[in-house]
Each structure stands twice: as structure tokens, then as C-alpha cells.
Structure 1
């Protein structure tokens, strides 16, 4: 963890929680990378099989959709920590550091609210899917709790990453690991 420039360290419990969230987001990024590789493999296989054998795989339409969601959401928390999400860096750089930090905090609080609602709704949907035993309408009849669970975990990781970001901003720690364009935190 990067310490504050004034030398004061956050409490050990806060450091441990932030490290745990960062580690969980890194695992989510690993899952997203594996899903991206699987997605590429499925699409390449589908192109080859359809081109040379004129036969389409029954799962070639269904599973890429699930994998796209996994790639998008399971890696989002890690991307946030790396400073990879889209922001208006020009505005952040034009503001004094304190104002930029307050604006970053306001945007982060807004994101926590929106993503928090999405997280709650996805968990509710996932529990309903488990309860009903829903399956996809595709020929594979995939139990929908599996792709919905991965999506729900990915969005939950993003929500946790925003909570960690807000904590870092409040404690005047660097909000993300990228150098330069953030405007928030102490760099």
C-alpha cells in the first residue's frame, strides 16, 4: 500500500480491508482474463468449424454472451484501482488538488449509489434464479445461476473497489495506482 505523504499510516484494519479488496479485484481480473481467452477460443473454433465443415456449435452463441459479461464486470474493479476507467482528466488537472479530490469523492459516492443498487438487484435476481432453477432457452439449457453468479460477483467487486476508492480519498491516500492523470489523492 502507498502511504500518505505526511507519513501517517491508516489503521492496520483499514489497510487489511483495502488489501483484501485489491486482492479480490485482482482475482476478478484473472477470471476476466481467462474468460477473454475462452471467448477467443470459442469464436475461433466456431469460425473454423463453420467455414470448413459447415456445422455450427450449439453453444457458440450462448456462451460468448456470458463470457462477455464476465470479461466486462469481473475485471472492472481491478481496472478502477489501476486508474483505467474513463474520467475527465482535463477537468481534474485544472482544479486545485483539494477541489479535484472533492469532485472525485462526489463522483465516487454517486458511483457507489448506482452500483450499490445494481449489486443489490443482481443478488436478488441470482437468489430468485437459484430458487426457481431457471435454465437458458438455448439448446445447452445452462443453469442460469452460474453466469448470473459470475456477473453478480463482478459487479459486487466493482462496488467494493469504489468503496475502497472512497476510503482512500477520505484518508488522502492515492486513489489509484496510475501515475499522473488522476487529480485525486496525494501523489
Structure 2
């Protein structure tokens, strides 16, 4: 079942919601991919500058740290939809399909609770950072709301991806585009 088939199998308002979440998560994955390319460029530049010119870029550590965060969190929602997150599939494969679905739903609901709290806390922190005008202690003095916004949006996208996963499980649709319960390395 493809993502398009999946969306057509759901009631129209839910299908639109699921497609919208998938599109947002794909945009997050695009940000993660661009961040990975920029991180590689920064690291290569830093190695060359340090090795051949004995000069370290003062901003490299700061921005490499931000980019690592963007890579990890902005692409997490898309990775969940692809079935790329690590989970204990052996437990799900050892029980009947109905029980596996219920366990998956319980785990997904638990993740929604944790991510809901994390998302709420990060949005609160982002708003405080904007209000205070906080900047990084590194020489570049980056306004901290910028990297915090990417982190907050990334966690929120992962939350939305888990909500979409739970909706798919409740509707009896395939929760991800990976191998599923029956096989594959998970």
C-alpha cells in the first residue's frame, strides 16, 4: 500500500490531515538533508583550514552543533513514516497481529504524551528566548531563537508524525511505509 492508497482509504478529512502531516514531515526531512550537506561543508572546510593554514574557524563549532540538532530532529517525523525508527520488532513479531497492533497503539500513544509535553515546553522556551533576546555565548552571538525554532518545529513535526501514526493504526491502515510487523529489519 502506497502513501496515496493509504490516504484514499481514510475518510476525506482524515486523509487530508494525514497527507498534510506527511508533506510537513517531508519538508522537515528536506531541512535535515540541507543541514547534513552544510554540516559536511563546514567540517571539510574546518579540516582543511586547520590542517593547511593552522587556522580554526571560530563559528564552526557553534553552527556544526546547531546543524546536528536540525539533522536529528527535523527529519525524525519523516523517518518515522518511512519505518526507519529503531523499535523492538521482535516483541511485535512474537504476538498475534491484533495484539501487535494494540501494543503499537499503546507505544504510539505513550510517545505522543512524551512528545506533547516536550513540544509544549520547547514552544514555551522559544517564546521566552524571543522575549529576552538571548544570544549564544559563542563569538558569533547568534540569536538563540533561530536554532531553538528549528529544534521546536522538528519536535513538533515528530509529534504530528506520531499522531498520524496513531490515526493510521486506529483506522486499520499501514502505520508506516517500511516492512511492517511481518518482516524486515526493524
Q: TM-score, normalised by structure 2?
A: 0.93
Q: How many Å separate the matches in 1 of 2:29 and 2:93? A: 28
Partner in structure 1 of residue 130 of structure 2: 130
Partner in structure 2 of residue 50 of structure 1: 50
Report deviation, 1:10: 2.0
RMSD of Structure 2 on Structure 1 (CA): 1.5
Report deviation, 1:90: 1.2
For the Cα contact (< 8 Å) 1:46–1:56, is it kept in 2? yes
Partner in structure 1 of residue 84 of structure 2: 84
Report deviation, 1:180: 3.9
Report deviation, 1:169: 0.3
Query: What do residues 80-133 of structure 1 show as CA deviations (whole Å, max 9, x unaligned)?
Result: 000111111111111111000000000000000001100000000000000011
Q: How many Å separate the matches in 1 of 2:5 and 2:175? A: 10
Q: TM-score, normalised by structure 1?
A: 0.93
Partner in structure 1 of residue 108 of structure 2: 108
Partner in structure 1 of residue 143 of structure 2: 143
Q: How many Å separate the matches in 2 of 1:156 and 1:123? A: 9
Partner in structure 1 of residue 5 of structure 2: 2
Q: Please, which runs of 5 or more residues in structure 1 have no aligned partner? A: none
Q: How many Å separate the matches in 2 of 1:181 and 1:84? A: 13
Partner in structure 2 of residue 164 of structure 1: 164
Q: Please, which runs of 5 or more residues in structure 2 have no aligned partner? A: none
Report deviation, 1:3: 4.1
SS at match of 2:60: coil
For the Cα contact (< 8 Å) 1:83–1:182, is it kept in 2? no
Partner in structure 1 of residue 179 of structure 2: 179
Q: Which has the higher helix share?
A: 2
Figure out how many residues of one structure are paired with residues of the other and give that number.
180
